[in-house]
Amino acid sequence: MTILHVFNRYLQSGGEETAVEQIQRHLELRHEVPRCFFDSHEWTGSEAPNKASQALRFFYNPSSKQRFETRIHEAKAHAALFHNVYPVGSPSLYRSAQQKKLPVIQMLHNYRPFSVDGSLFYQGKPQSGPLHGKHFEEIISGSWQGSIARSAVCALMLSMLRRSGWLKSVSAWIAISEFMRQRLIESGQIPAHQIHTLRHSWDAMPSPPAYFDAGYYLFLGRLIPEKGLHALISAWHELRNQLGVKTPTLKIAGNGPLSSWVKDQCLANPFIECLGQISGQAKHEALRHCRALIAPSIWWEPLGLIVYEAYDFAKPVLAARAGGLTETVQHQMTGLLHDAANTAGLAQDILTMESMSDEQRRTMGQKGRSWLLREAGLKSWQDQFDGILSSVV
């Protein structure tokens, strides 16, 4: 079949864009997958629409609608696969698909179109209110781009999108974890039979690099509050108080709003090291040499592809019981789980990992890799996607 692939790139690329590109590659092995991509950078620079025009187009962008309809005609599409469509694509794409009677499959990498910033995280914890159409606290928290005004505009757009019935153009919704699927069912806004769970597949290495454990723990990700950095740093201060010079090293890789704060914590604790943003070979080496990866998220993590990356290198994962992480990290088998935001629990998991023999830790990482090969294989993902596709076309 021909599947029109629709995505609005973010100003800063991240895990979702990586997943979109991987989905593109995997679908192309079986289908024609022409692109209809938009780019948030179109609204920056000297040639960008003015702010008033951007605000209007955020609700309904006629030029994006026209571009989408042209691609439908050119590609002779049987269905469209939507990811993020904000801000340049806009909800006009849903309206257009509805008018053209084109089935839409909506892949959900986060909690939009039900949450202003897609995270359901504000006031320091995950919140379910937006799933039920309650956006006031999201707005006053300035959850989208730190702005109350922008959050209010986005909340208004989401409310209009739901009330207008445009979301009925979506024939099937794909949640990337069962946790996410259950939250959406509880919201009552989508019929349960239309919501499918399909975790991401993974292009695993044929075999992991030669095993090496340099004794340090690794955090990889955006330096933002919802990733649990405050609990992580507090746990390391606690470990230093308990272990003194025997405290293992924590290496933090990434950038984001908390970058300056994290650097200050590195200066305060000699057992915490900042790597900054890393990629390519540097990231490869960081994963290869770590003792374990830490994913201490305190928001409802939709899935957490960083776990896949650790497993690819046959490394165990220490994760919070947060969202989809509970579906990928098997306690005491492929890693250890602690309650989200529980500093003492995370510190205890580090102590437990330190008390294990090298062989025990290595076995735990090997079980993680076996899980990855078994649960995130390409053919299984393709078969499940094709089942969803055939149900709507």
Domain residue ranges of the chain, discontinuous segments joined by +: 3-201+377-392, 217-375
List the 250-253 sheet strands across, edge first: 272-276, 250-253, 217-220, 292-295, 317-320, 335-338
Task: Tell me what percent of the residues of the chain surpass a pLDDT of 90.
Answer: 89
What's the pLDDT at 321? 98
Given a contact cutoff of 8 angstroms between Cβ atoms, the answer to whether 315 and 285 are in contact is no
Q: How confident is the model at residue 289 (pLDDT cuts 50, 70, 90)?
A: very high
What's the pLDDT at 67? 97
Q: Residue 183: is its pLDDT beyond 90?
A: yes
Mean pLDDT of 42-65: 92
Cα 146 to Cα 187: distance, rounded to the nearest angstrom: 26
Q: Whose structure tokens read 């896949």?
A: 308
Task: Tell me what percent of the residues of the chain surpass a pLDDT of 70.
Answer: 100
Q: How confident is the model at residue 93 (pLDDT cuts 50, 70, 90)?
A: very high
Q: How confident is the model at residue 310 (pLDDT cuts 50, 70, 90)?
A: very high
**Where does residue 230 rank: exposed (0-12), middle (13-18), buried (19+ CB within 10 A)?**
middle
What's the pLDDT at 96? 94
Element (H, E) at 80: strand 79-82
Mean pLDDT of 293-302: 97
Q: How confident is the model at residue 165 (pLDDT cuts 50, 70, 90)?
A: confident
Q: Residue 313: is its pLDDT beyond 80?
A: yes
What's the pLDDT at 160? 87
Superfamily name with CATH number, domain 3-201+377-392: Glycogen Phosphorylase B; (3.40.50.2000)
Q: Residue 263: is its pLDDT beyond 90?
A: yes
Query: What's the pLDDT tens digit per position in 139-160?
Result: 999 998 889 998 999 999 999 8
Q: Residue 166: is its pLDDT beyond 90?
A: no
Residues with Cβ within 8 Å of residue 332, at least 6 apart in sequence? none
Kindly provide the b/e burial profile for residues 286-305, where b requires at least 16 CB atoms within 10 angstroms of the residue's own CB.
bbbbbbbbbbbbbbbbbbbb
Q: Residue 14: is its pLDDT beyond 90?
A: no
Tell me what the pLDDT averaged over the chain comes to: 95
What's the pLDDT at 205? 95
- Of 119, 48, 72, 157, nearest in space to 301 by CA: 119
Q: Which of 47-56, 229-238, 240-249 has the lowest mean pLDDT?
A: 47-56
Mean pLDDT of 67-90: 96
Query: What's the pLDDT tens digit per position in 215-243?
Result: 999 999 999 999 999 999 999 999 999 99
Phi-psi region of 317 (alpha: psi -120 to 50; beta: other; left: phi over 0): beta
Q: Which amino acid is at 140?
A: I
Q: Residue 13: is its pLDDT beyond 80?
A: no
Q: In this structure, are strands 125-126 and 121-122 parallel, antiparallel, or unpaired?
A: antiparallel
What's the pLDDT at 136? 95
Mean pLDDT of 344-366: 98
- Of 233, 305, 297, 295, nearest in space to 264 by CA: 233
Beta bridge partners of 49: none
Mean pLDDT of 155-176: 89
Angle between helices 343-355 and 229-243 (to 10 degrees): 50
Mean pLDDT of 69-74: 97
Q: How far is CA 147 from CA 10, 41, 152, in A?
A: 17, 19, 9
- Of 220, 374, 353, 203, nearest in space to 284 by CA: 220
What's the pLDDT at 112? 85
What's the pLDDT at 146? 87
Beta bridge partners of 2: 32
Q: Residue 376: is its pLDDT beyond 80?
A: yes
Topology adopted by domain 217-375 = Rossmann fold (3.40.50)
